[in-house]
Amino acid sequence: MAGALRPMCAMRPAMALIAPAAKRSLVSATRSTLQQPSTTSLTASAKLTLPRETLRQSFRRGYADGGPQVILSPTPKPKKRFRVLRFLWRATYISILGGLVYGSYGIYLNRHPGEQAEPDPTKKTLVVLGTGWGSVSLLKKLDTENYNVVVISPRNYFLFTPLLPSCTTGTIEHRSIMEPIRNFLRHKKAAVKYYEAEATKIDYEKRIVYINDESEIKGATTTNEVKFDMLVVGVGAENATFGIPGVREHGCFLKEVSDAQRIRKRIMDCCETATFKDQSPEEIKRLLHMVVVGGGPTGVEFAGELQDFFENDLRKWIPEIANNFHVTLVEALPQVLPMFSKNLIDYTEQTFKEETIEIRTKTMVKNVTEKYIEAEYTDAAGVKQLDKIPYGLLVWATGNALRPVVKDLMSQIPAQKDSRRGLVVNEYLVVKGAENVWAIGDCAIANYAPTAQVASQEGAFLARLFNQMAKTDEIQEELSLLSEKQAVAANKELRDGIFGDIKELQKRLRRVKQMGPFEYSHQGSLAYIGSEKAVADISWFTGNLASGGQLTYLFWRSAYLSMCFSTRNRVLVIMDWMKSPDKGFPLIMKDPTPRVEVRDPSPTSSDEKGGFRGSEPELLTWTDEEERRIRRKLDWRIVPLVTFLYLLCFLDRANVGNARIQGMAKDLNLVGYRFNWALTVFYFTYTAVEIPSNAVLKYVGPKLWIPFLVLSFGIVSMCTAFVQSFNGLCVARAALGLAEGGVMPGIAFFLSSFYRRGELLFRVGIFVSAASMAGAFGGLFATGLARIPRWGTDSTPIHTWRNIFFFEGLITIAVAIAAPFLMQTKPEECKFLTPREQLIAAERLAREHRAKAHEVVKWKHVKMAVFNVNNVVCAFGFFFVNVTVQSFSLFLPSILADLGWTATRAQLYSVPPYIVACLISISVAFVSDRTKMRGIYLATFPLLCVIGFTILRVSNNENLKYMAVFFSAAGAFPGGPGFLSWGLNNAAGPAVRAVNAPRYPIGHTINLVAQVIVACLATFGMFYIMRENKLRADGKRDHRIEGMSEEEQDELGYLHPEFRYIQ
């Protein structure tokens, strides 16, 4: 005992020496240390770890023996700084080293090709005509060991045509975008024969290609023939002149390197001739007027390159031409770059205007002479005028024409006699009417635009197809040998073993043969527009990503750089860009984007008088693929936005239920029926403004009206956080009803302006499912917001339930401010659609509804809507569905809390039923659109709700009642979008509150009855529609159109005898 007390006695003089301030610090530090949780008990020999600064001046070495051993905290290590920068530097260093090693290895392989196998006479001979995009893509991926490959082309190199316009002004040297074919073929596994010759004729019956040496240096033999077993025609197309006189004689084309060199020489000749002594002003203007015909990517890029060349070089070299140099782009269609989105077309035209490049659209060239072109255009009065446009340089960058060898082959095949634009091929690119003959690229018709991107994908597809065919032949030969061995096998054991090998080979054979047809995957389109700007329309998931500007210009460069054929090409192009004084390459953005569209699809055709014009027919037609593409774009731009807006709407409406169990009922003294009255007031104003709101939307437009409504209910929701009484809550809920009343019908009407009847329910189902998503999300969100610490002023503190209203309203306001910039008004004004897609999107709705898509609302339209039996059924059905949905959403947290759960548990357990309801609503909507039926689902799913509310009404079991909540949600939520879209298809609600917690017998009974009524209404509507459709099919409604004009018939809407209701 004495030994134990001695250290404590020795501690006293030590404590006496400690200064009072130090003593207080010691006591405070010791207390904070001892209060920390520990897994061991404190003894006399315990080691205390105390801060160094606190004890430095307090203890001395002499007193340490008598008290607890004190371990001073270690000196903190200096923080490591700039870790990210060091990591980035090391990553960059390693990347550069890796790039150098990879490049060096590539150069080594290029300079030291391996040995090649010689042609095997037993194998089939595959002849490939051409060295363009399609042929080279085929040869690049083809396993040449399977065939004796022969390549025939007058061009012994591959030309990267997207950068050809840059060669005309010297930005890029032509050798940088050329890849010798022999260098490429030398690295194949088996030797490939190449003949630099023109294919003059293909004899399909004899399987012979006749070739002619057309080089400047000719030998003793200049013509020959090549036999083939398989033939791929990839000769491309010629420049089309559309029968216009003088184009071939006086114009310059842009397809080959020689064309670019000729244009380059012609540009300088025009400038030098314009500065010749005593040249007249008129002649100077003519010589310096550069005309580009064709508004596709090739023409636009060349016009941009030419204007850059003038601004950065010619203006400095020859200052006297500065006021007269002028570039004009002529296009027969209403707009340039027709394959791009509308906003990119507008951006291009605005950029050209800033660059002083003149664009003359709707102008058709009729004649070309040595010094001017004759063009026809339509003036403001609609009268066609003929204009003479003088020029110094004319570049013809539009149109494709068939080569003679292709025309000759088409004449030999009866199935091709009706084709005018090229060889018609099937889904496997086989020439129709021929066997073992394939066609790719511009000379083939495969329902795709004649672009480099299409040709490249076709070539790659054929390579895979030929490789699979070779494997098939090989496996079949092995099967034949094994069958022979099995026939002469000595015993059963050997036969069984061979039979097992045969079964394995047959499995391999089935896998090899499972190759689908060719499917084109559009990766996007790129175009340079001058002034270091570019436009890009890139495919992104199921939509398009449109971009324009200088950052897009860097992307344009990086994309084209990644598409270059070889490392050699990439290095040379980079060096050319760095050497160019006006376009020094400041940054290389290595981008993995795959091939993009690089050539003009030339949507022009010749007319009878020799001019050219757009191929748009008088009656607009389109393919199913075009319509699917439009739907995908609408789905990605329209539906997500309105779904999110309605989610916010329902979130701000239903958050009062979450707020109630977080203390609002106590703070506002919501006793008795007060909470129910506060909820019911909302629906008085909500119902009253639905129809007037849609009328205003019709005049103002959804782009402004719907965001205005969202902004309004966001402000009301945020202000609800400051209410102090029951009366204030009622006023806030009434104001919220005014703001939200027009949102759901407005969005539904908005969607009906973009989608056809059979497409509508799925989209409406998605946006209305935001109600169930809001329920799931709202519970989680409310739980988090309620935990935010108390803040605000002393008179109006914001805490728990007030945080829910304030922050959810604040988020809604922010979204509402951004919404007008994202909303669209009507299909023909959607900027993310091309001009043709805009026309199709509007026309497909007009043809289905037999009325103008955006006609003015008249009194007769109101009467037609009111007296439509289907509308009445849908209105009452939607009303009774809302009785359940709204009461379910507002009272679910309270129902779960009254099961004895905590507020947090009730909030969190309210999430799963909403998730199930959301998934079922979308699934039912999808199936309903696919089956084109509505009533059967609306009549069936309320039965789930009846089961659920029956269990809630009679059961006392906690788990059983929670299961019933799932039944109720799954049965109620699909009805809203169903009735809403049913009414919209076939036309051209306050909730009752539950009381008497925790069993809520009255509320559950009312919901049960409401769902029975819903099922009855849906059944009645379904049978009524079946009867009405039968009467119309039998001609018993034809009297309605007797004596009416076509315009009057269109105004009948759903009353028209040809209109059919969706069941």
Helix, strand or coil for residue 176?
helix
Give the chain's mean pLDDT.
78
Among the candidates 399, 416, 436, a domain finishes at 399
The predicted structure's pLDDT at residue 1011: 57
- Give the phi and the psi of residue 148 in degrees, each rounded to 5: -90, 100
Higher pLDDT, 770 or 59: 770
Confidence of residue 542 (pLDDT cuts 50, 70, 90): low
Both 890 and 1022 in a single domain? yes
Both 417 and 450 in a single domain? yes
What total number of domains does the chain contain?
5
Residues 6+ apart with CB under 8 A from 528: 165, 300, 301, 304, 305, 534, 553, 556
The residue-averaged pLDDT of 459-470 equals 91
Domain of residue 358, CATH code: 3.50.50.100
- Residue tagged 């036999």 (tokens): 227
Give one DSSP letter per residue of 712-756, joined into a string.
HHHHHHHHHTT--SHHHHHHHHHHHHHHHTTHHHHHHHHHHTTS-
Q: Report if residue 232 sits inside a domain.
A: yes
Rounded distance, CA 958 to CA 937, Å?
Answer: 30
Give one DSSP letter per residue of 833-863, joined into a string.
S-HHHHHHHHHHHHHHHTS-TTPPP-HHHHH
As a whole-number percent, the residues of the chain with pLDDT over 70 amount to 74
Q: Report if residue 804 sits inside a domain.
A: yes
The predicted structure's pLDDT at residue 482: 83
Confidence of residue 438 (pLDDT cuts 50, 70, 90): very high
Cα distances from 663 to residues 544, 719, 728, in angstroms, run: 48, 17, 16
Both 365 and 460 in a single domain? no
Both 210 and 251 in a single domain? no
Give the type of residue at 789: P
Confidence of residue 921 (pLDDT cuts 50, 70, 90): confident
The predicted structure's pLDDT at residue 771: 60
Task: Name which of 543-557, 581-595, 717-731 the model is least confident about.
Answer: 581-595
Q: Report if residue 214 sits inside a domain.
A: yes
Among the candidates 358, 378, 399, a domain finishes at 399
Cα distances from 157 to residues 184, 261, 520, 931, in angstroms, run: 9, 16, 26, 55
Task: Name which of 489-503, 686-700, 1001-1015 the model is least confident about.
Answer: 1001-1015
Both 355 and 218 in a single domain? no
Burial 707-721 (b: 16+ CB within 10 A, else e): bbbbbbbbbbbbbbb
Both 48 and 194 in a single domain? no
In this model, does residue 9 exceed pLDDT 60?
Answer: no
Residues 6+ apart with CB under 8 A from 587: 554
Both 803 and 883 in a single domain? yes
First to last CA, the chain: 97
Query: Is 73:51 a contact under the CB 8 Å cutoff?
Result: yes
Confidence of residue 331 (pLDDT cuts 50, 70, 90): very high
Both 227 and 166 in a single domain? yes
- How do residues 589-604 score in pLDDT, each as one tens digit? 333 333 333 333 333 3
Query: Is 486:503 a contact under the CB 8 Å cutoff?
Result: no
Helix, strand or coil for residue 372?
strand
The residue-averaged pLDDT of 444-460 equals 89
Both 805 and 784 in a single domain? yes
Both 1049 and 999 in a single domain? yes
Query: Is 187:113 a contact under the CB 8 Å cutoff?
Result: yes
Confidence of residue 939 (pLDDT cuts 50, 70, 90): confident
Both 719 and 782 in a single domain? yes
Q: Report if residue 88 sits inside a domain.
A: no
Rounded distance, CA 718 to CA 227, Å?
Answer: 82
Query: Is 256:618 a contact under the CB 8 Å cutoff?
Result: no
**Structural domain harbouring 533:** 524-614
Q: Report if residue 148 sits inside a domain.
A: yes
- How do residues 11-30 score in pLDDT, each as one tens digit? 444 444 444 444 444 444 44
Rounded distance, CA 810 to CA 965, Å?
Answer: 31
Residues 6+ apart with CB under 8 A from 521: 457, 539
The residue-averaged pLDDT of 686-691 equals 80
Confidence of residue 667 (pLDDT cuts 50, 70, 90): confident
The residue-averaged pLDDT of 522-548 equals 85
Q: Report if residue 760 sits inside a domain.
A: yes
Among the candidates 344, 370, 399, a domain finishes at 399
- How do residues 69-82 score in pLDDT, each as one tens digit? 555 555 555 555 55
In this model, does residue 259 exceed pLDDT 90?
Answer: yes
Q: How many helices (H) and strands (E) does the chain have?
A: 40, 31
In this model, does residue 165 exceed pLDDT 70?
Answer: yes
Confidence of residue 44 (pLDDT cuts 50, 70, 90): very low
Domain of residue 1018, CATH code: 1.20.1250.20
How far is CA 101 from its chain centroid?
37
The predicted structure's pLDDT at residue 250: 94
Q: Report if residue 186 sits inside a domain.
A: yes
Both 802 and 705 in a single domain? yes
Task: Name which of 482-486, 572-576, 736-740 the model is least confident about.
Answer: 482-486
Task: Provide the whole-model pTM.
Answer: 0.51
Q: Report if residue 829 sits inside a domain.
A: no
* CA proximity to 1031, closest of 1059, 1063, 1051: 1059
